[in-house]
């Protein structure tokens, strides 16, 4: 609802001679100002509508205007209206003043039609979001972060620094969608829609219904009563103002019953065989939603929407009302239908508004009635009323863009009224407000001895007190100097700020750390952490390690391509050798090993798949863990042999001649060396006798009693490993030929040296004590 003065509303009941003004800025920088005499009497309208046959939920709405400009003298022949920006204002003469109503700024995105008049159509900034969602935001990300990111990239002024469920986390980056669709999906999670207000701020606007279930309304139409006449909930309070619409023409149509939302549902994995439905509430008027941003969290979001919407009632209607420029999409209203002497009043929410400057205002709630409510809320953003051309638009830096937006917003505003209020001590508090009286004003600011406060519709927007403390919504500045800073998210760089840089200086002003697009750099090579008691610091990562006579602090050292871990007593307990290549979960051309300095043993613990192009050795058993029905998980062990061999098993039967040819699989033959001697083992399964008659490179022959069934097993040496047999194991096999070897002997010598040095220090201290004791 657009806020106007009380006098404006009273005058509007009897007079509707609104005066239309337009300030047009063309793409080439020229401007013109049009007044009432520059417009035809028809084809001048403002549309603020979802254009849907449902209660809009998760839509990104674009307002549009149509203007018919008089061009009888071809005075605009040399103007190109395409991409021109139009700021539209309506004015109404009051008793002593002229009050202005801002109706927004629009861009012409279709060619105009010329003649004795020029008809242009334009839309608000929502058309700029009809582009592919191309963010560099890292996911998971919250819907609040996604909204702010779109505003920053598209140059939109943020009208919702916070909104309902703006901390909802979207797990993966959405693909194949437009910025506008994303805004709609975000708004759906917030139980509302996305739209630009008349001042050009992009808002995530949540429905502000009062929840109610009883069908009885109080006489003043402000309260819902239970069946005993007791008030159960306020419906339309100050925060959700409602229009009182009575002056409809005879074409008004009203639904026969109130629509009461009874449930919210969605389908998970709708296009798969495993799809399932999640629903909150009961059958009846059920809203079905689809939103890719809520994947994995469908139940949570359905519950949120159910909490906001179930029990809400409104009446479907449509009709032409006397002109009213204050009505907007999603406004709440009482509508009064007159049939002869009978007058009925219903509560509703406006879903479609078409304001005709020199005529009536078409209003409607287009939700399907209960029987027809089979619509699905996919939040596919309503299309622009005209298709935008891919016109190149100069991108400004963040500061310049916001400066331009704020300057334009302020320049389009009207003056303020001043009300001084004298206090008991003779001092004065000054109130400034946008309407003649404070009570009817939407924007108010006032000065006291303690500071300045500004409010919008009764809620504090910003304030500055006498101590220099400030409360603001969004701060845009070229520089910011502070002693401390606290908040949730800090974002550096991007677009005109290019690569963000975070620098940390010490007390002397020297840079000790920097984080930028190249990574994280610690200039003193030290990353400090804290132990569990939060008081003692110790080094976590450093380039080199220097021992002390009193022992080493527990730490981790990166050196020689390895990570060394030290304990409190000194010495390298463990280290991790660098991996020379790694792909996914596999280890190629290298290894990762953990050593213990006391035993020299190697212990490796890895999860997921392991792929090695070298040998795999272990000092324990090799087993597979198998799940059983009655005995839990059990270990099954590998069959070990002195030489690396492959095997195969099968069955056969001798023919009537007592022969059977067993052919080796071609693929199996390529993994073994059949030219070397191989073994075949037979087991009879009938009476008679059988034996291996001959063995070739590709098959072997079994002979014996005719028609004897048998089983066979073959063992052949692995190709390329024919000479391997019971080799002695050495730790040297663990280190690749191109790896840097660890000099354990040198490390041991260093440890011994440090040990004796510490003993000498202790000895010297004891001698000094002895001398001091006896005064020697």
What is the average per-residue pLDDT within 641-656? 93
- H helix count then E strand count, the chain: 7, 53
User: What is the reported pLDDT for 389?
Assistant: 31
Residue 378 has pLDDT above 70, yes or no: no
Residue 292 has pLDDT above 50, yes or no: yes
User: What is the reported pLDDT for 695?
Assistant: 93
**Which has more confidence, 55 or 221?**
55
User: What is the reported pLDDT for 668?
Assistant: 92
Taking only the tens place, the pLDDT of each residue in 120-159 is 999 999 999 999 999 988 888 999 999 999 998 998 988 8
* Side-chain-facing half-sphere of 150: CA atoms under 13 Å: 31
Taking only the tens place, the pLDDT of each residue in 208-217 is 876 433 344 4
Percent of the chain with pLDDT over 90: 37
> What is d(CA 673, CA 664) in angstroms, rounded to the nearest whole number?
12
Residue 93 has pLDDT above 70, yes or no: yes
Confidence band of 166 (pLDDT split at 50, 70, 90): very high
Backbone torsions φ then ψ of 372, nearest 5 degrees: -100, 5
Residue 711 has pLDDT above 90, yes or no: yes
Percent of the chain with pLDDT over 70: 69
As a whole number, the mean pLDDT across the chain is 77
Most confident range, picked from 145-149, 444-448, 538-542: 145-149
User: What is the reported pLDDT for 382?
Assistant: 30
Confidence band of 524 (pLDDT split at 50, 70, 90): low
**Which has more confidence, 270 or 96?**
96
> What is d(CA 80, CA 11) in angstroms, rounded to the nearest whole number?
38
Taking only the tens place, the pLDDT of each residue in 455-473 is 776 655 677 776 677 777 6
Map residue 364 onto helix, strand or coil: strand
Confidence band of 279 (pLDDT split at 50, 70, 90): very high
Residues with Cβ < 8 Å from 102, sequence gap 6 or more? 2, 89, 198, 199, 412, 413
Residue 423 has pLDDT above 80, yes or no: no
User: What is the reported pLDDT for 419?
Assistant: 83
Taking only the tens place, the pLDDT of each residue in 192-210 is 999 999 989 999 999 987 6
Residue 12 has pLDDT above 70, yes or no: yes
What is the average per-residue pLDDT within 420-434? 77
Residue of 237, 221, 211, 217 whose CA lies nearest to 311: 211
What are the residue boundaries of the structural domains of the chain, listed by start? 216-377, 638-728, 743-776
Confidence band of 90 (pLDDT split at 50, 70, 90): very high
Strand (E) or helix (H) holding 403: helix 398-411
Taking only the tens place, the pLDDT of each residue in 346-377 is 889 999 999 999 889 999 998 876 544 533 44
Residue 571 has pLDDT above 60, yes or no: no
Please, what CATH class does the domain formed by 638-728 belong to?
Answer: mainly beta
> What is d(CA 317, CA 296) in angstroms, rounded to the nearest whole number?
37
């Amino acid at each position: 609802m657009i806020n106007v003065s009380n006098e404006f509303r009273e005058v509007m009941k009897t007079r509707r001679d609104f005066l239309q003004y337009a300030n047009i800025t063309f793409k080439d920088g020229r401007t013109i100002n049009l007044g009432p005499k520059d417009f035809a009497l028809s084809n001048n309208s403002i549309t603020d509508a979802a254009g849907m046959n449902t209660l809009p939920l998760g839509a990104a709405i674009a307002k549009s205007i149509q203007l018919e400009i008089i061009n009888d003298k071809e005075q605009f022949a040399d103007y190109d209206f395409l991409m021109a920006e139009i700021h539209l204002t309506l004015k109404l003469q009051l008793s002593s003043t002229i009050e202005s109503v801002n109706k927004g700024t629009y861009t012409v995105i279709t060619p105009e039609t010329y003649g004795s008049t020029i008809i242009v159509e334009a839309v608000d900034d929502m058309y700029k979001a009809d582009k592919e969602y191309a963010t560099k935001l890292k996911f998971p990300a919250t819907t609040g972060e996604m909204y702010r990111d779109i505003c920053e990239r598209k140059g939109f002024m943020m009208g919702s620094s916070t909104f309902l469920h703006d901390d909802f986390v979207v797990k993966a980056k959405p693909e194949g969608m437009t910025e506008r669709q994303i805004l709609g999906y975000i708004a759906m999670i917030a139980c509302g829609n996305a739209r630009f207000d008349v001042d050009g701020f992009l808002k995530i606007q949540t429905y502000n219904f009062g929840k109610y279930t009883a069908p009885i309304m109080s006489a003043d139409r402000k309260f819902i009563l239970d069946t005993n006449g007791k008030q159960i909930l306020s419906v339309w309070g100050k925060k959700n103002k409602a229009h009182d619409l009575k002056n409809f023409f005879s074409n008004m149509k009203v639904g026969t019953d109130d629509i009461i939302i009874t449930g919210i549902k969605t389908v998970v994995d709708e296009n798969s065989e495993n799809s399932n439905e999640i629903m909150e509430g009961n059958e009846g008027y059920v809203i079905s939603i689809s939103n890719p941003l809520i994947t994995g969290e469908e139940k949570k979001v359905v519950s949120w929407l159910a909490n906001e919407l179930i029990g809400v009632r409104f009446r479907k209607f449509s009709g032409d009302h006397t002109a009213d420029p204050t009505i907007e999409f999603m406004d709440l209203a009482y509508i009064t239908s007159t049939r002869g002497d009978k007058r009925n009043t219903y509560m509703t929410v406006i879903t479609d508004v078409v304001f005709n400057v020199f005529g009536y205002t078409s209003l409607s709630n287009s939700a399907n009635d209960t029987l027809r409510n089979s619509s699905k809320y996919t939040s596919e953003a309503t299309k622009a009323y005209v298709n935008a051309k891919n016109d190149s638009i100069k991108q400004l830096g963040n500061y310049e863009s916001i400066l331009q937006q704020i300057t334009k917003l302020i320049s389009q505003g009207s003056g303020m009224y001043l009300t001084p209020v004298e206090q008991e001590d003779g001092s004065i508090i000054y109130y400034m407000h946008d309407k003649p009286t404070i009570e009817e004003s939407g924007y108010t600011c006032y000065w006291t001895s303690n500071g300045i406060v500004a409010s919008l519709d009764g809620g504090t927007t910003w304030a500055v007190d006498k101590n220099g403390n400030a409360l603001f919504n969004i701060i845009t500045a070229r520089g910011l100097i502070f002693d401390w800073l606290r908040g949730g998210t800090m974002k550096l760089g991007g677009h005109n700020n290019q690569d963000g840089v975070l620098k940390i200086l010490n007390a002397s002003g020297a840079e000790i750390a920097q984080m930028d697009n190249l990574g994280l750099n610690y200039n003193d090579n030290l990353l400090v952490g804290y132990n569990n008691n939060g008081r003692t610091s110790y080094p976590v990562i450093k380039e080199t390690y220097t021992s002390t006579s009193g022992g080493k602090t527990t730490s981790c050292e990166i050196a020689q391509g390895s990570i060394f871990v030290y304990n409190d007593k000194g010495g390298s307990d463990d280290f991790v050798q660098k991996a020379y290549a790694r792909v996914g979960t596999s280890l190629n051309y290298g290894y990762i090993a953990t050593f213990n300095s006391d035993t020299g043993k190697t212990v490796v613990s890895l999860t997921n798949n392991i792929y090695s192009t070298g040998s795999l050795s272990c000092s324990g058993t090799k087993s597979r863990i198998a799940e059983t029905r009655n005995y839990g998980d059990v270990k099954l062990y590998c069959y070990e042999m002195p030489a690396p061999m492959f095997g195969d098993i099968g069955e056969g039967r001798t023919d009537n001649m007592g022969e059977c040819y067993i052919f080796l699989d071609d693929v199996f033959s390529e993994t073994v060396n059949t030219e070397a001697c191989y073994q075949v083992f037979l087991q009879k399964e009938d009476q008679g006798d059988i034996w291996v008659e001959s063995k070739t490179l590709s098959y072997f022959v079994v002979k014996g009693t005719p028609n004897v069934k048998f089983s066979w097993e073959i063992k052949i040496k692995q190709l390329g490993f024919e000479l391997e047999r019971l080799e002695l194991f050495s730790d040297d096999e663990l280190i690749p030929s191109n790896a840097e070897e660890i000099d354990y002997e040198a490390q041991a010598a260093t440890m011994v040296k440090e040990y004796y040095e510490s003993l000498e220090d202790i000895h010297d201290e004891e001698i000094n004590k002895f001398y001091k004791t006896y005064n020697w």
